[in-house]
A and B are shown apart, each in its own frame.
Chain A
Amino acid sequence: MARTLFDKLWDAHKVVDVGDGADLLAIDRVVLHERTGGIALKSLAEAGRDVRDPDRVFAIMDHIVSFRPGRGRDEARLPGGEQFITETRALSKAAGLHLIDTDDPRQGIVHVVSPELGIALPGVSLICPDSHTCSLGALGALAWGVGSSDAEHAMATGAIRAKKPAQMRVSVHGTLGSAVTAKDLSLHLISKFGAAGGSGMAIEFAGSAINALPLEGRLTLCNMAVEFAAFTALIAPDDATIASLMGKPFGPDDIQWIEAVSEWRQLFTDDDARFDQEIEIDAQDVAPMVTWGTSPEEAAPVSAHLPEAVEREVLEYMGLEPRDTLQDLKLHGAFIGSCTNGRLSDLRAAAAVLRHGRVAEGMRAVCVPGSKSVRAAAEAEGLDKVFINAGFEWGEPGCAMCFYAGGETFPPGSRVISSTNRNFRGRQGPGVRTHLASPATVAASAMAGCIADPRRILERQVAA
């Protein structure tokens, strides 16, 4: 029978049908961070349970670590936050896990580091107590976010109970326009079908526009699937995916490589396989997008006006008037980074804009590379100088200003354009008004001091 990619991954990890409509799924790898992973390790230890196979568990520090340049080993970005770092470190060492500590040259955001090190691979089942674990489906991994209790469950037993979700295919045909990115595509999808549009579903992205997306763009697209309420997202691995995984420390070695590749080549949806729901998108319809409200579904092309019927609470929180033009909104801050858009290609796209100007007067602009290896690669190309010369701060890798955890941030009422994933109320600080966009749009907006279309800067340069 014809099977989808998701069917194949599910079947390959099914240990047994445990009744009640649920399967026991083998979990190849568990990834933890100090915010929600420490508590999972602590509960496990308190219950007197061991980690079944510590070699399959990876603890990486990202959420609470300071992004201050030259930060100390235990330095957190909120008062008292050191405890999350020190306890997770001690628990990870006691359990014998792979620990990627704050001072490790491999450190960074879990979903940036996992593909870099080959922790995430095609065909692997992977969970992490973090909602953006769906990012890793971009490699053809069965990866999804869980709570701390389920992470504990997988560490104790090597498996998790799950009910197989319904499946959706999102096919994107044609070619994305210049300066239109995976981030814009995801905001287009969510604004069109709603933040609950993919509720509980396993989504496969396919079509010519997806095939043409570089791996980092695919990670961005799959990352945003949770903002569409999906169970997870997937993209079938292709030559580019496979080539990117050669020589990874936690991937197949030279001797295992051929065998691994032949297995990965089986990871695609059969021609006649059926999905519960299909969505078709024409890539030509996607423009650079920006959110204007407090849910990722409240997004529009950068050139648009606010829609007419907007709830009063949203207008008030966001400091907007009905029918405002998005491009006129004056900004106080800009942030580039996160598991959504903190990879090398994201920094390059922002730098390509920032080479042509400086951050507007009075704005605070911050760039935090997604991992130390991203930062090192960016510095090797001189991107750090482009950001710093343009007026950006250049931080130490971690989740940084994607979410407020206490400590310092943008002031209440300030308007911030951000390459992150959530524009929820208070997400970047009490009263902070977040507008989500791609790194190029964030850069162009930082230079303009108001929301701006990156194509105006990039195309002007081409013309000149």
Chain B
Amino acid sequence: MSRKPFTVHSGVAAPLLVDNIDTDQIIPSREMKTVSRNGLSDGLFAGWRYASPTDRTPRPEFVLNQKKYAVASILLGGDNFGCGSSREHAVWALTEYGIRAIVAIGFGDIFRNNCVRNGLLPIKLPDLVVRSLADFDGEVVIDLPSQTLSAGPNVHAFDIDSYAKRLLVEGLDPISLTQQHQSEIEAYFADDKKVRPWL
């Protein structure tokens, strides 16, 4: 199963510049209604986006409900973005909504891995850069092969580990990649069974 490759993307970036935005905020547990990866975007940021759990009137003060950010495909976040619950539903809700990249000061570990597994690009940049992007009007251009993010004349280089980059750029399925090493894995377990027969 391959994923949509990520090469160059341009889009509007919506600012959510708060630290420690947890996956309960990204998708509250009550919005995870079925055993499925689909149908989750309605629940994205439900607690912030709607008037109440029973009234889905959009709250005008929430950034994604503002006209300027209606077409946002990039989110800007603070430190430790996506901390908390491991629920991959947070990433499935974001991608189904149309978010392609998140630029933040830092990420929760499990969330960052979940992003990469689902074609969503996590970019870590310093506080000042993220804040300058929040003030930028226009489309931000992200070039993953060259690892740059441009906002008008300002070009920012970003780091990403090479495995994550390869998965995203080539849209690879990690399970198929690992299966290329299946004989080594089988050999490991055959040896280990002799050493640790209790497992």
Instruction: Report which A residues bind B (CB closer than 8 A).
Output: 15-16, 18-22, 24, 26, 28-29, 35-36, 38-39, 42-43, 47, 49, 53, 56, 78, 80, 83-84, 87-88, 121, 123-124, 129-131, 145-150, 152-153, 156-161, 163, 165, 195-196, 199-200, 226-227, 229, 231, 251-253, 256, 260, 263, 295, 297, 403-406, 422, 424-427, 430
Contacts and interface: CB of A to CB of B under 8 A. Distances in A.
Q: Which 7 A-B pairs have the closest CB atoms?
A: A20-B163, A252-B198, A147-B114, A147-B88, A196-B80, A20-B162, A149-B117
B86 A229 contact: no
A159 B185 contact: yes
A425 B29 CA distance: 12
B37 interface: yes
A24 B162 CA distance: 15
A291 B86 CA distance: 22
Interface stretch (B95-103, B131-139, B144-152, B171-179): B171-179
By secondary structure, the A interface counts as: loop
Given A130-B86, A156-B179, 18 more contacts: A22-B161, A36-B87, A87-B35, A131-B86, A147-B91, A147-B117, A149-B88, A149-B174, A150-B117, A153-B174, A158-B189, A159-B178, A163-B163, A195-B20, A199-B80, A404-B28, A404-B30, A405-B29
Nearest to B83: A229
Interface in B165-188: 166, 174-175, 177-179, 181-182, 184-186, 188
B108 A426 contact: no
Given A131-B84, A195-B20, A251 B198 contact: yes
A424 B181 contact: no
Given A39-B35, A424-B24, A430-B47, A21 B162 contact: yes
Contacts of B154: none
Contacts of A156: 175, 178-179
Nearest to A87: B35
Contacts of B161: 20-22, 163
Given A253-B198, A424-B84, A425-B24, A38 B47 contact: no
Contacts of A80: 33-34
Given A150-B113, A159-B185, A196 B175 contact: no
Contact of A422 (B24, B30, B36, B174): B24
A43 to B, nearest CB: 7
B32 interface: yes
A80 B19 CA distance: 34
B110 A153 contact: no
Instruction: Indicate the member of B36, B80, B109 with the most A CB atoms within 10 Å.
Output: B109
A159 B181 contact: yes
B66 interface: no
A129 B90 CA distance: 13
Nearest to A81: B33
A152 B175 contact: yes
A355 B195 CA distance: 50
B154 to A, nearest CB: 26
A19 B178 CA distance: 12
B42 to A, nearest CB: 14
Given A36-B88, A43-B37, A295-B20, A16 B181 contact: yes
Contacts of B127: none
A196 B19 contact: yes
Which of B28, B86, B195, B196 has the largest count of A CB atoms less than 10 A from its CB?
Answer: B86
B113 A147 contact: yes
Given A49-B175, A84-B35, A426 B91 contact: no
Nearest to B197: A256
B25 interface: yes
A256 B198 contact: yes
Contacts of B178: 18, 24, 153, 156-157, 159-161
B162 A149 contact: no
18 contacts: A18-B178, A24-B184, A36-B89, A39-B35, A39-B37, A56-B199, A124-B199, A147-B88, A149-B88, A149-B118, A157-B185, A195-B20, A295-B20, A404-B29, A405-B29, A422-B24, A424-B84, A426-B47
A161 B174 contact: yes
Interface in B25-55: 25, 28-30, 32-37, 47, 52-53
A158 B24 contact: no
Contacts of A424: 22, 24-25, 84
Contacts of A28: 199
